[in-house]
Amino acid sequence: MNFTFLKVAAAAGLMAVLGTSAAAQQVLRFSHTDNPGGSRQAAAEVFAEKVGEYTEGRYEVRIFPAGQLANDPKAIEQLILGGVDFTVSATGSYATHLASLNLTAMPFLVDSYEQGWELYDNSDWLQGEFDKLPEVGFRVLATWEAGFRSFTTNKPLNSPADAQSMKMRVYPNDMIRWSMEAIGFQTVVMPITDVYLAIQQGTVNGQENPIDTIKSLRFYEVAPNITLTRHVYSPLPLTVSEATWKKFSPEDQAAVTRAATEAAAFSRDLVKNSVDSQISEMKAAGATVTVPEIGPFREAVASVYDEARAVYGAEAVDGLLADADAIRKAMPSN
């Protein structure tokens, strides 16, 4: 047999094998806005590793942190369109596509991480809302952790009276905006990726986010007054594009769900146990950390529940409030 023919045949066979291997492993795009050193990135790396392991290498999750592909609202839009396969964001960020999810940002629903986990994992009302999301174009796989929202400002914030002279950045969420305005802030809507520079330039006086986000995105550098109000529990549902989900076999759907759940456990443990050290690190870097009297803040936002009833209906608002109240009573915080 001609030697040249053998070489060509062998090369063609190798290319066919490589082509089959490349086709067998599909790349899935995971977009988020956390910095590479943040907890979202750490959990995303766990998720990516587990997806590869549990699908036996059929899928590779490629992570794009720090808003490389899109900010949070755009990433969710891309999720619906199929341009992004996974994203992880605050529940309220998804409310543009299911307005009732705004209600999860009602102030002071829960007082502890454990109460928050129970709310997101077992609230009948919230699970019912999550069940509507596949029709929108994405579904919740698990809930990762970010923590409780607090303030960073470039002027001291000890009470609602101090808010009267401040502009507060908010993301597009009615509940957050109503709460901030009830406290006394002027509100300015902008993507999180623009916030650091906006504070630096004086466009806004501060922002509110969980400690993990404040530390990761270094907001304490430009707004060094950290006020620990813990006014909203703000975890991070991990979502998958419904178009992507439908392409998975049942076995791969189970594998991806398992990976998401295990990454959620990692995320919850990491964030809960990192808060004190993160606060200490920010203080060492020059931030001032205060725990204000919470009563005046609670009183200031009391009107928000009635605003919510007027817009979203008493049945929805009272359903979530009832679930949260039952959880607080069953699991009193220390």
Tell me the C-alpha distance between 36 and 65, whole Å: 6
With tokens 């992880």, the residue in question is 88
Q: Classify strands 186-189 and 167-170 as parallel, antiparallel or unpaired.
A: parallel
Which residues are 226's β-sheet partners? 152, 289
Residue-wise pLDDT tens digits, 246-268: 999 999 999 999 999 999 999 99
Q: What percent of the chain stands above pLDDT 90?
A: 90
| pLDDT band per the 50, 70, 90 thresholds, residue 25 | confident
Burial of 17 (0-12, 13-18, 19+ CB in 10 A): exposed
Tell me the C-alpha distance between 328 and 320, whole Å: 12
**Which residues, other chains included, contact 84 with Cβ-Cβ below 8 Å and sequence gap of 6+?**
29, 30, 31, 69, 70, 75, 78, 241
Which residues are 28's β-sheet partners? 61
pLDDT over 80 (residue 9): no
For residue 285, the one-letter residue type is A
Residue-wise pLDDT tens digits, 100-116: 999 999 999 999 999 99
pLDDT over 70 (residue 19): no
Q: Once rounded to an integer, what is the mean pLDDT over residues 203-229?
A: 97
Q: Once rounded to an integer, what is the mean pLDDT over residues 24-49?
A: 94
pLDDT over 90 (residue 334): no
| pLDDT band per the 50, 70, 90 thresholds, residue 172 | confident
- Higher-scoring residue by pLDDT: 24, 228: 228
pLDDT over 80 (residue 241): yes
Q: Once rounded to an integer, what is the mean pLDDT over residues 224-248?
A: 98
Q: What percent of the chain stands above pLDDT 70?
A: 93
- Higher-scoring residue by pLDDT: 1, 328: 328
| pLDDT band per the 50, 70, 90 thresholds, residue 24 | low
Tell me the C-alpha distance between 270 and 247, whole Å: 32
Residue-wise pLDDT tens digits, 306-326: 999 999 999 999 999 999 999
For residue 97, the one-letter residue type is H
pLDDT over 50 (residue 168): yes
The predicted pLDDT at position 189 comes to 96
pLDDT over 90 (residue 303): yes
The predicted pLDDT at position 3 comes to 44
pLDDT over 90 (residue 8): no
Find how far residue 225's CA is from the centre of its chain.
23
Tell me the longest C-alpha to C-alpha distance in the chain.
92
